[in-house]
Amino acid sequence: MTATSRPDSPALLATSDLHVVHTGNWEVVERIRPAADGDWLIVAGDVADTVAPLRRTLRLLRERFAKVIWTPGNHELWTTPGDPVQLTGVARYEHLVEVCRELDVVTPEDPYPVWDGAGGPAVVVPLFLLYDYSWRLPGLDRAAALAHARETHVVATDEHLLHPDPFPDRAAWCHDRVRRTLARLTGPASELPAGLPVVFASHWPLHRGPTRMLRFPQFAQWCGTELTEDWHLRFPVAAAVYGHLHIPLTLEFDGVRFEEVSLGYPREWRRRPGSPPYPVRRVLPGDPDRAPMNPMLDSVAARFRAEDGLDHPPQNLPS
């Protein structure tokens, strides 16, 4: 999809990881516009590290699109020294939800909207689930996996800036979010309209498969949870939208489409063809020109693992 394409009918679109304070990214964001009246836009997290540019960006997008649906990424949940909003953990997330509601932007705490346009009807479910360190290297428990990450200098900034309070750690917060979300999705009180397919929108991927393409696989422990790896089979999923990895691909697992829709950092997107990019993906109806790139995923993953030898547990780690 390009900025100038004009489909005949509105579409459900998605983007993520806009990182608007990085030089060059705001100019890309300013080019994001609906291709048709009535377009919806999913914004799957990591708009900014602080509240003010998040507000500014969502306000701009909401003025342009018929509906904007946001879910937080890890960067929005950071508490940085330069942010006037020094809330942490759950209190910070709740503040971000209120910011979105002031802008008429849908959040994971709101009723799930139903897309009735082309490719629909389908219910759009924004998810906030975090991660629990369960996507570890083979044979390592959580302590050993974190020790290996520190030894190899591959440690997420979340360890310093994403505070989980009042929970004891991020894994506990993740498990609470999964429990709360399942309570809305399942059972007699399910908020999913009967018979409708689902579009899941999460910052972190629901399936571990996409993380196989990470150059440093020890980073996967900050990318999701094994608790969601069957959700694309458990629910009638039309597509699963995510970001976080900065590897914007279409993949397929068990016949279900997974769309990584990130813009990423300028140092990343400037290396790709078609710079500057137009970081918007059509989710519904699906783009027939986008074939799943699983063969490339498999090839790159096999090459990386052969180079780094990390298909096997690292040896001689500190206890």
CATH at 133: 3.60.21
Would you say residue 319 lies in a domain?
Answer: no
Would you say residue 314 lies in a domain?
Answer: no
pLDDT tens per residue across all 319 residues of the chain: 544 444 569 999 999 999 999 999 999 999 999 999 999 999 999 999 999 999 999 999 999 999 999 999 999 999 999 999 999 999 999 999 999 999 999 999 999 999 999 999 999 999 999 999 999 999 999 999 999 999 999 999 999 999 999 999 999 999 999 999 999 999 888 999 999 999 999 999 999 999 999 999 999 999 999 999 999 999 999 999 999 999 999 999 999 999 999 999 999 999 888 778 899 999 999 999 899 988 888 888 888 878 776 554 444 333 2
Phi, psi of 252 (to 5 degrees): -140, 130
Question: What's the sign of the alpha-carbon dihedral 94, 88, 69, 170?
Answer: negative
Tell me what pLDDT residue 275 has: 73
Q: Are strands 198-202 and 250-253 parallel, antiparallel or unpaired?
A: unpaired
Would you say residue 47 lies in a domain?
Answer: yes
Which tokens go with 193? Answer: 């309209």
Tell me what pLDDT residue 294 has: 87
- Residue 242 half-sphere exposure toward CB, CA atoms < 13 A: 27
Contact indicator for 241, 259 with CB cutoff of 8 Å: yes
Segments forming the whole domain that contains residue 150: 12-308
Looking up tokens 């609470």 gives 176
Would you say residue 33 lies in a domain?
Answer: yes
Would you say residue 315 lies in a domain?
Answer: no
Q: Distance of CA 310 to CAs 43, 56, 207, 319, Å?
A: 33, 42, 20, 19
| pTM for this model (two decimals) | 0.93
Would you say residue 24 lies in a domain?
Answer: yes
Would you say residue 6 lies in a domain?
Answer: no
**Own/partner long-range contacts of 208-212 (Cβ < 8 Å, ≥24 apart):** 208/135, 209/251, 209/253, 209/258, 209/297, 210/242, 210/245, 210/247, 210/249, 210/251, 210/258, 210/260, 210/297, 211/135, 211/245, 212/297, 212/298, 212/301
Would you say residue 84 lies in a domain?
Answer: yes
Contact indicator for 40, 12 with CB cutoff of 8 Å: yes
Peptide bond connecting 168 to the previous residue in cis, omega within 30 degrees of 0:
no
Looking up tokens 């020294």 gives 81
Contact indicator for 72, 78 with CB cutoff of 8 Å: no
* Contact partners, residue 303, CB within 8 Å, separation at least 6: none
Structurally, the chain folds into a number of domains equal to 1
State the amino acid at position 41 in one-letter form.
L
Q: How far apart are CA 229 and CA 246, in angstroms?
A: 20
Q: Distance of CA 184 to CAs 103, 111, 154, 292, Å?
A: 24, 10, 35, 30
* Contact partners, residue 101, CB within 8 Å, separation at least 6: 107, 110
Nearest C-alpha neighbor of 128 from the set 66, 68, 13, 43: 43
Looking up tokens 């016949």 gives 255
User: Which secondary structure element, helix H or strand E, spans residue 238, and what is its range?
Assistant: strand 237-242
